[in-house]
Amino acid sequence: MEYDVRHRTTYRYLQNVSYSCHRAHLMPRSTATQTVSEAAIALSVAPERRHGLTDFYGNHAEWFAIDQPHTVLEVVSTSRVTVSPMAKLDLEASAPWEAVRASMEQCTDDDVRGAIQYLFDTPLTASQPRIAAYAGESFKPGRPIAAAAFDLMHRIHRDFRYDTTVTDAATPADRVFEIRSGVCQDLAHIGIACLRSLGLPARYVSGYLLTKPPPGRPRLLGADASHAWFSVYAPPFGWLDLDPTNDIRPDEGHVTVAWGRDYTDVAPINGVVTGGGEHVVEVGVDVAPRATN
């Protein structure tokens, strides 16, 4: 599937912003199943300085600073992306999860060394004994890691309620676990905290969903804004993406933007401003299939 993706973020300030500095993760990255043919970011206010970079995790990031007074800033990212279907997996053919954990300790090859950085707690994904116990219900002794991770995804989808009113971008996994509610970001953080509590590498993935599904298919939760899911290192398959919000393995309807340890590594836009006072943020995302001739 080939998509046109448009992500618009508008900041409206009560007073003038005299200076602002931002970092944006808004351009999709190329992967084994995704090709990016076009990508650009347009700003409604001309920046004083601006440059693109590749961050530590291989994501494309855009950095810009604005030094002229403004009360409105609109950031529009547009891209054209082709997403191929995922290969079918035999979940039982993956390595036992204890063997994956042991490989992290032995650090035997480049793939393992690349995964080790995703083992450690962050402020948003710190584990607790009750989270480890919850994870242990899926990760029984000797169980293949892919099968266990799929079971964990199913259980998070079943046990946690999707609710846009109870959390914010700074809500940690232990609070989400306590209230059993949150948005896609929160459910991804729960999955990551569970896996890391068992000594297994897990990463946070940001992206988008197809806005309007094909006829006969339900509309997925999280399709109106940036979406998020988690990924587990599952030899011999490599990294395996799982979307607990919708209880599915991401496929052609998911567009990957970036990945990192948690949301803070790959927030769509973050930064600092001088002035501005109170403000509102409006976000709109559209992922539309390209018309075929």
Whole-number pLDDT of residue 292: 60
Alpha carbon distance 77, 206 (integer Å): 15
Length, in residues, of the chain: 293
Question: Is CATH 1.10.3720.10 correct for 2-84+267-289?
Answer: no
Of 68, 76, 75, give the one whose Cα is nearest residue 16: 68
Same fold, 2-84+267-289 and 91-265: no
Q: Which two tokens stand for residue 212?
A: 């309007």
- Is residue 215 very low, low, confident or very high in pLDDT (cuts 50, 70, 90)? confident
Buried-state track 264-284, b at ≥16 Cβ within 10 A, e below 16: ebbbbbeeebeebeeeeeeee
Residue 195 has pLDDT above 70, yes or no: yes
Whole-number pLDDT of residue 111: 85
- Is residue 220 very low, low, confident or very high in pLDDT (cuts 50, 70, 90)? confident
**C-alpha dist (Å) from residue 118 to 15, 23, 57, 109:** 41, 22, 11, 16
CATH code given to domain 91-265: 3.10.620.30
Question: Lowest mean pLDDT: which of 13-17, 112-116, 204-208?
Answer: 112-116
Average pLDDT value for the chain: 94
DSSP state of 96: B
Q: Name the pTM for this structure.
A: 0.94
Residue 293 has pLDDT above 60, yes or no: no
Alpha carbon distance 179, 146 (integer Å): 27
The domain limits of the chain are: 2-84+267-289, 91-265
- Is residue 69 very low, low, confident or very high in pLDDT (cuts 50, 70, 90)? very high
- pLDDT, tens only, 94-145: 999 999 999 998 877 888 889 999 999 999 999 899 999 999 999 999 999 9
Question: Lowest mean pLDDT: which of 151-160, 210-219, 235-244?
Answer: 210-219
Region 220-237: what's the mean pLDDT?
A: 88
Buried-state track 90-122, b at ≥16 Cβ within 10 A, e below 16: ebeebbbbbebbebbeeeeeeebeebeebbeeb
Whole-number pLDDT of residue 259: 98
Alpha carbon distance 110, 233 (integer Å): 13
- pLDDT, tens only, 119-130: 999 999 998 999
Whole-number pLDDT of residue 211: 78
Whole-number pLDDT of residue 106: 83
- Is residue 81 very low, low, confident or very high in pLDDT (cuts 50, 70, 90)? very high
Whole-number pLDDT of residue 222: 67
